[in-house]
């Protein structure tokens, strides 16, 4: 986390935006770093600021978040290095550009984003986002049913681009995101997939069996066809990091439920249902939803999303949306079978994996094997739907 220095002169203009009071004066403040697992090297730090200020009505409390974006030097061991390419999925300035644009002005009332009070640029390689402190319930603690509503709200947003709104064309929107995120040949570890002996290990769950190798190899051979087919589908605006750590639930002033999306760093153009495929399968892969509930979770999210699209005025072919869902899920997660085989056969890494996820190694393998099995079934579904794409 980057060290930062704040003073009254820096805080006061932002504070006045928080309180919507041009004469507010800072009384006291406190800066606390927010602990998070460092994955994406664009994020150089996250802090919560709280304090009090004088306003026209007296002394008022306030709070906000400070998120630091950085263009850090590349790390050869990381797949989350920052890019200066505006169309790259990890363009480091994108989130600041989102907040500076009118893109979020077109969100439906059911879907929200944190208010951005200010964007400052302390150095050529860092930008600071001064953001609203969202008051609500994090999705990491939601019951499954609340995700149906979140998917419905997502459908309200994405469906409007088919019904009555032109897609934005900003050069800094990410493009072909799924192609960049699909497992590489190294990650897919096809040499292990092709080796019958690799499938024989006491910790390998019953959900994975040698007969799956043929399905995985076929999926690999068809990856370009499936990607090309997804990319030729009608496009919408996608968040592209739509999963529990980036979702909050809150009530609007009129009492209606709203879903708030955090972290707009990857937003771009994509096919309908790419976001919900990420939500469902990444929630399983990263243990936010237990594998025993994965099928129910998928049904809830799918039903909510289709309902939201229809309510937005979208009137497309549901089968095309289902193809995009099934194909994108299969390409991202079905091809991770080789990675799981590699992890099973490297016991020296078990302690690190257990430490990261705070689970026993056998439960980790069981969960992820179930996700892979589910996505390979989705690959079969995508093949049956492919002829309708044309």
Average pLDDT over residues 237-260: 96
Residues 113 and 163 in one domain: no
In a domain, 183, yes or no: yes
Residues 230 and 338 in one domain: yes
DSSP string covering 251-292, please? Answer: E-TTS-EEEEE---TT-EEEETTHHHHHHHHHHHHTTSS-GG
User: What pLDDT sits at residue 25?
Assistant: 93
Residue 251 clears pLDDT 90, i.e. is over it = yes
Longest CA–CA separation in the chain, Å: 74
Q: pLDDT (tens digit, 9 = 90+) per residue, 145-163?
A: 999 999 999 999 999 998 8
Residues 322 and 194 in one domain: yes
**Boundaries of domain holding 12:** 8-132
Alpha carbon distance 53, 281 (integer Å) = 45
Residues 267 and 254 in one domain: yes
Give pTM, 2 decimals: 0.94
In a domain, 3, yes or no: no
Reported as a pLDDT band with limits 50, 70 and 90, residue 4 is confident
- Higher-pLDDT residue of 2, 302: 302
User: What pLDDT sits at residue 77?
Assistant: 66
In a domain, 161, yes or no: yes
Q: Which of these three, 132, 155, 186, is where a domain ends?
A: 132
Alpha carbon distance 117, 129 (integer Å) = 8
Alpha carbon distance 336, 209 (integer Å) = 14
In a domain, 319, yes or no: yes
Residues 177 and 227 in one domain: yes
Q: Which single residue is written with the structure tokens 């802090």?
A: 47
Q: Is 276 exposed, middle or buried (0-12, 13-18, 19+ CB in 10 A)?
A: buried
Beta bridge partners of 132: 64
Residues 285 and 154 in one domain: yes
In a domain, 1, yes or no: no
Reported as a pLDDT band with limits 50, 70 and 90, residue 75 is confident
Residue 375 clears pLDDT 80, i.e. is over it = yes
Q: Which of these three, 93, 113, 132, is where a domain ends?
A: 132
User: What pLDDT sits at residue 177?
Assistant: 95
Question: What is the CATH number for 121?
Answer: 3.30.200
Residues 217 and 314 in one domain: yes
User: What pLDDT sits at residue 385?
Assistant: 97
Average pLDDT over residues 309-336: 96
Q: pLDDT (tens digit, 9 = 90+) per residue, 263-285?
A: 999 999 999 999 999 999 999 99
Residue 26 clears pLDDT 70, i.e. is over it = yes
In a domain, 77, yes or no: yes
User: What pLDDT sits at residue 162?
Assistant: 87
Residue 227 clears pLDDT 70, i.e. is over it = yes
User: What pLDDT sits at residue 2?
Assistant: 66
How many structural domains compose the chain? 2
Residues 116 and 177 in one domain: no
Q: pLDDT (tens digit, 9 = 90+) per residue, 298-319?
A: 999 999 999 999 999 999 999 9
Residues 332 and 206 in one domain: yes
Residues 110 and 223 in one domain: no
Q: Which of these three, 132, 164, 182, is where a domain ends?
A: 132
Residue 246 clears pLDDT 90, i.e. is over it = yes
Residues 193 and 287 in one domain: yes
The C-alpha angle 131, 136, 141, rounded to 5 degrees, equals 120
Residue 360 parent element (H or E):
none
Average pLDDT over residues 91-95: 96
Q: Which single residue is written with the structure tokens 């099934």?
A: 326
In a domain, 317, yes or no: yes
Residues 75 and 179 in one domain: no
Question: What is the CATH number for 177?
Answer: 3.90.1200
Q: pLDDT (tens digit, 9 = 90+) per residue, 205-214?
A: 888 999 999 9
Mean predicted lDDT score pLDDT of the chain: 94
Average pLDDT over residues 376-382: 97
Residue 301 parent element (H or E):
helix 294-312
In a domain, 2, yes or no: no
């Amino acid at each position: 986390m980057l060290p930062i220095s704040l003073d009254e002169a820096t805080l006061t203009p932002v504070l006045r935006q928080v309180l919507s009071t041009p004469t507010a004066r800072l009384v006291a403040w406190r800066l606390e770093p927010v602990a998070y697992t460092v994955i994406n090297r664009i994020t150089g730090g996250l802090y919560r600021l709280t304090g009090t200020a004088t306003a026209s009505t007296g002394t008022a409390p306030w709070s906000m978040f400070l998120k630091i974006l950085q263009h850090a030097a590349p790390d050869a061991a990381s797949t989350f290095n920052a890019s200066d390419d505006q169309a790259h999925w990890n363009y480091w300035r994108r989130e600041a550009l989102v907040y500076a644009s009118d893109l979020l002005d077109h969100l439906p009332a059911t879907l929200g984003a944190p208010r951005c009070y200010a964007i400052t640029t302390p150095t050529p390689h860092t930008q600071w986002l001064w953001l609203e402190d969202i008051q609500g319930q994090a999705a990491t603690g939601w019951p499954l049913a609340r995700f149906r509503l979140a998917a419905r709200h997502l459908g309200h947003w994405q469906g409007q681009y088919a019904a009555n709104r032109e897609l934005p064309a900003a050069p800094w929107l990410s493009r072909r995101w799924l192609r960049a995120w699909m497992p590489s040949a190294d990650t897919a570890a096809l040499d292990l997939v092709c080796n019958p002996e690799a499938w024989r290990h006491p910790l390998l769950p019953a959900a994975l069996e040698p007969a799956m190798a043929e399905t995985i190899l076929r999926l690999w051979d068809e990856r370009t066809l499936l990607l090309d087919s997804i990319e030729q589908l009608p496009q919408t605006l996608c968040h592209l990091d739509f999963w529990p750590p980036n979702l909050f639930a809150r009530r609007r002033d009129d009492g209606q439920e709203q879903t708030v999306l955090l972290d707009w760093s990857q937003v771009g153009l994509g096919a309908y249902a790419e976001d919900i495929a990420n939500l469902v399968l990444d929630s399983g892969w990263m243990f936010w939803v237990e594998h025993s509930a994965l099928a129910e979770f998928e049904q809830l999210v799918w039903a909510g999303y289709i309902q939201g699209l229809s309510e937005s005025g979208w009137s497309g072919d549901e089968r095309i949306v289902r193809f995009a869902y099934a194909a994108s899920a299969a390409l991202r997660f079905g091809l991770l079978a080789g990675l799981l085989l590699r992890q099973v056969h490297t016991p020296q890494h078990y302690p690190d994996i257990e430490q990261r996820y705070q689970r026993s190694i056998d439960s980790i393998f069981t969960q992820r094997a179930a996700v892979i099995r589910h996505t390979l079934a989705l690959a079969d579904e995508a093949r049956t739907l492919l002829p309708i794409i044309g």
